[in-house]
Amino acid sequence: MKLIVLLHDPLERALSAYAMERNRNREHWPVDRALCLEPVRRLVTAMFPGDRTTHHLFFSYVDRGRYRRQLDTLERHFPKEQILLLHSEALDRRYEETLGSVYAFLEISEPNPLPPPRRVRQTERKYRPSNLTLAWLRWILRKERHWLRERFPGGG
């Protein structure tokens, strides 16, 4: 089995996940409160795992962007040769080259022509947090974002 992991900037990933949950009507808190309350909500989820209204997949905006911990777990179960790590920006900046690396990793021939790039909607501005919350997010995700920049110099 081969695994392809597409990583996104942890801060942008958190905001995108929040917007998705809002659009699905699963999140009702304003963005600043939802992000700040995440640790409490995750604690409640751990205490009441059967309660779908607090499910960890819905309200773990920041925590799910802590990639190093997740990748350490993945690499304990799979050899590194079976894992291809990609940065989402690589699909934007170097689409053909990135797809080429995917086809090479999977050991399959590239289709000609390549499928056209799919544009993903940007996080809606109405869900952007305050500058204070953004500063807090940058601070708590600083190690993850630094690790990601080291792993993918130039954004992918």
pLDDT, position 112? 85
Q: For 61-112, how does the pLDDT look when each residue is reduced to its tens digit (9 = 90+)? A: 999 899 988 899 999 999 989 999 999 888 888 888 999 999 999 999 988 8
Cβ neighbors of 18 (< 8 A, separation 6 or more) are 27, 31, 34, 35, 61, 123, 127
Domains and CATH numbers, the chain: 3-151 (3.40.50.300)
Token pair of 111, please?
């289709």
DSSP state of 153: T
pLDDT, position 88? 87
CA distances from 103 to 84, 109, 155 (A): 11, 6, 20
Any idea how long the chain is? 156
